[in-house]
Structure 1
Amino acid sequence: MTESSSIKWRQLANELRAKIQDGTYPPGSTLPQLKTYSRELGIHHETVRAAYKELEREGLVRTIQRKGSVVLEPPVRRRITRGVTVTRDPARGYVFPAASRPDEPWQVHGQPFRKVVPAPAEVSDQFGLDPGSEVLRRRRVTSPAGEPPFQLVDTWLSPDAVQSAPRIAEPSPGPGGYLDRLEEAGHGPIEWEETFRIRMPDREEAKLLEIAVSIPVLETTIVGTSALTGKPIEVTIRVIPGDRVELAGKLQRGDSAQWPVDPVEPPETAA
């Protein structure tokens, strides 16, 4: 692409960005069809394509097959104060540190489903299975009420877990969910360990979260280990668009960082 065409697509991206921000193109609307718009502007269609791609990289639009470039809702950034305490709600069961506030209603997008599918390597490794082994996955997409999809949550349950607590494979495992059923089957108290990483989403994840594939995501993985066997029995992977979340935590002083600082005695000098 020449320097002149580079300047043109950047100018066009700036103009379209301003129109999205002032409501000329509101959320849910579609930018003009690429070739029609290029003829209207008297510029090459690749210049228009480059401008659209830039807006997609910024998370302002998403390309949807047979629809075009659809303007997205502005992301709502939510703060997650990362604690290490798992609490319990009598109505919901275990509650892990998350971006929700007490009593805040959440909604499910689409239909949650469960299916036995080939597990990713990180899951099969945890369960001690061969690569590509089929494992029960429970999947749901959720968000605070009225907001676009906030997180894609996959819970993988080991074959041993399903065998010992068959109700976890049902659509509704009952009060307290699958974790209560596992602990009732003798695996409690379950211990959990959580890890984080930043990565790019695959196309299916981007579609379910309604984001562009160019938007990084935060992935958190919680591995639950059975007290009965000492082995992982459940792995929950949560994927959150990177522009919708920020992590926060309170720093504490260690013993060596207390204030006021103890005075340092000057070294003795030889007489």
Structure 2
Amino acid sequence: MSNEAPKTYRDLAKVLKSEIEEGRYPVGKTLPAAADLADRFNLSRQTAQRAVTLLASEGLVRTIRGTGAIVQPVRRRRRIQRGQLVTRNPHYGYVFPATSDPMEPWEAHGKPYRSYEPAPAEVADAFGVEAGSEVLRRRRVMSPVGEPPFQIADTWISPDAVADAPDVAQPSPGPGGYLDRLEEAGHGPISWQETTRVRMPSSEEARLLGISTAMPVFQISMVGKSARTEGPVEVTVKVIPGDRMEMVLDLQRAKSAAWPVQPVERV
């Protein structure tokens, strides 16, 4: 660690990161308050707070109101292989592109549950209902076995689809889950389109994932469309902490990029 006094919040963040790595602040330890850091390094309280927020955005600490910034363990970053192939497990139903090891066992954190909740704007827009309308949501918080919460998965099912397939609202929809019930009700084969973006988490999402609200998250939204109506019947939104994953895509060469390169004829 450099002996030069930090002058900016980024400098201070580097100093604190070094002290965390060196064991001065072990996992579970709370960092000094911003006021104390400001006094120690002769910086403004705002500068100290920005440094702590930067550490939180990198997953090194988790800030909890009334408690402070708690040092977090180093999380394993997983590679998400986002292919286009949807497969089917004869015991569980459809399997969508996810981690590089689709057979890795996962577990639920808390009990998965379903309830009627106000629909977010993107869900309401997909189903053609007013934003805030009560829509069936199936929620589960999941992770690979033995790891902290990795993702929140919310599946929203359109009111019309629930009317067509009432069993999707049951705690256990039966073999193949809610997707099989929707397809049996006349919406199969369902087709899907996926969108990924980065945003900041809500306070509820941060609590469920055990992260700071300063940690960006990936949002992977998958819209399932009915073959009969050609409209959305389900929207699944997965939220994953930004320090827990990296997306991988295998690039392919088009014919125009074939090797060896064909010589260009001079005119």
- In which range does the TM-score fall when normalised by the shorter chain? 0.7 to 0.9
Map 1:67-106 onto structure 2 (within 5 A): 67-99=67-99, 101-106=101-106
**In the alignment, is the contact (CA less than 8 A) between 2:78 and 2:244 conserved in 1?**
yes
Q: 1:133 to 1:29 in 2, by over 3 A?
A: same
Matched, 1:236 2:246: no
**In the alignment, is the contact (CA less than 8 A) between 2:201 and 2:216 conserved in 1?**
yes
**In the alignment, is the contact (CA less than 8 A) between 1:140 and 1:152 conserved in 2?**
yes
Q: 1:23 to 1:105 in 2, by over 3 A?
A: farther
Map 1:144-159 onto structure 2 (within 5 A): 144-159=144-159
Q: Which amino acid counterpart does residue 171 of structure 1 have in structure 2?
A: P
Shift of 1:192: 0.7
- The Cα RMSD (Å) is 2.5
Shift of 1:131: 2.1
C-alpha separation in 2, matches of 1:8 and 1:102: 44
1:115-135 Cα offsets, whole Å, 9 max, x none, are: 111111111111111222111
Shift of 1:183: 1.1
Q: 1:7 to 1:193 in 2, by over 3 A?
A: same
TM-score (norm 2): 0.87
C-alpha separation in 1, matches of 2:167 and 2:66: 41
Map 1:1-271 onto structure 2 (within 5 A): 7=7, 13-32=13-32, 37=36, 41=40, 46=45, 48-99=48-99, 101-267=101-267
C-alpha separation in 2, matches of 1:104 and 1:151: 15
**In the alignment, is the contact (CA less than 8 A) between 1:220 and 1:239 conserved in 2?**
yes
C-alpha separation in 1, matches of 2:18 and 2:111: 36
**In the alignment, is the contact (CA less than 8 A) between 2:53 and 2:214 conserved in 1?**
no
Q: Which amino acid counterpart does residue 226 of structure 1 have in structure 2?
A: S
C-alpha separation in 2, matches of 1:54 and 1:237: 27
TM-score (norm 1): 0.86
**In the alignment, is the contact (CA less than 8 A) between 2:60 and 2:72 conserved in 1?**
yes
C-alpha separation in 2, matches of 1:6 and 1:177: 55
**In the alignment, is the contact (CA less than 8 A) between 1:100 and 1:144 conserved in 2?**
no
C-alpha separation in 2, matches of 1:54 and 1:196: 24
Q: Gaps spanning 5+ residues in structure 2: where?
A: none
> SS of 1:7's equivalent?
coil
Q: 1:231 to 1:51 in 2, by over 3 A?
A: closer
Q: Which amino acid counterpart does residue 76 of structure 1 have in structure 2?
A: R
Q: 1:31 to 1:224 in 2, by over 3 A?
A: same
1:38-69 Cα offsets, whole Å, 9 max, x none, are: 69959688265454333223321111133322
Q: 1:262 to 1:174 in 2, by over 3 A?
A: same
Q: 1:39 to 1:230 in 2, by over 3 A?
A: closer
**In the alignment, is the contact (CA less than 8 A) between 1:190 and 1:226 conserved in 2?**
yes
Q: Which amino acid counterpart does residue 207 of structure 2 have in structure 1?
A: K
Q: Gaps spanning 5+ residues in structure 1: where?
A: none
Q: 1:164 to 1:20 in 2, by over 3 A?
A: same
